């Protein structure tokens, strides 16, 4: 077991990639659950157009998140330099935009259902 330089704790360098991959999977699952909840709310509150639009954006973001997480994991695990992975700024901006759209759509569904 190797020790990380400057610490007394065993290093888990090999597990960082797996934790990152799991984080991308959790993000994808969260987006899918929010999309399903938006559709459910839209059906219950007769606001299906807003709900379907919101769900479509969330589904696209979920697919992009999953694909990026999977590609990043494979890139890091097959690379000679696993610490050199680069996260695409455009994707991060897209996920941020999808999150903002989800928040705005959720607020609209909540407001219209009252």
* Residue 94, CB-side half-sphere exposure with 13 Å CA sphere: 15
CA distance readout (Å), 33 to 7, 43, 52, 78: 40, 15, 14, 31
pTM of the shown model: 0.68
Candidates 38, 80, 40, 87; CA nearest to 59 is 38
User: What are the residue ranges spanned by the domains of the chain?
Assistant: 17-112
Query: pLDDT (tens digit, 0 to 9) for every residue of the chain, 114 residues total?
Result: 454 555 555 555 667 778 888 888 998 999 999 999 889 988 888 888 888 988 998 899 899 888 888 887 777 777 555 454 455 677 778 778 888 888 888 888 778 776
Report residue 3: phi and psi, to 5°: -105, 140
């Amino acid at each position: 077991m190797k020790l990380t330089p400057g610490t007394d704790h065993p290093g888990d360098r090999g597990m960082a990639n797996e934790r990152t991959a799991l984080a991308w999977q959790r993000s994808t699952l969260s987006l899918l659950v929010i999309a399903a909840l938006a559709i459910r709310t839209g059906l219950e509150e007769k606001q299906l157009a807003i709900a379907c639009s919101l769900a479509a954006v969330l589904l696209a973001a979920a697919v992009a998140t999953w694909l990026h997480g999977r590609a990043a994991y494979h890139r890091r695990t097959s690379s000679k330099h696993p610490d050199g992975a680069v996260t695409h700024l455009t994707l991060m901006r897209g996920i941020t935009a999808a999150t903002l759209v989800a928040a705005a759509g959720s607020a609209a569904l909540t407001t219209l259902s009252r």
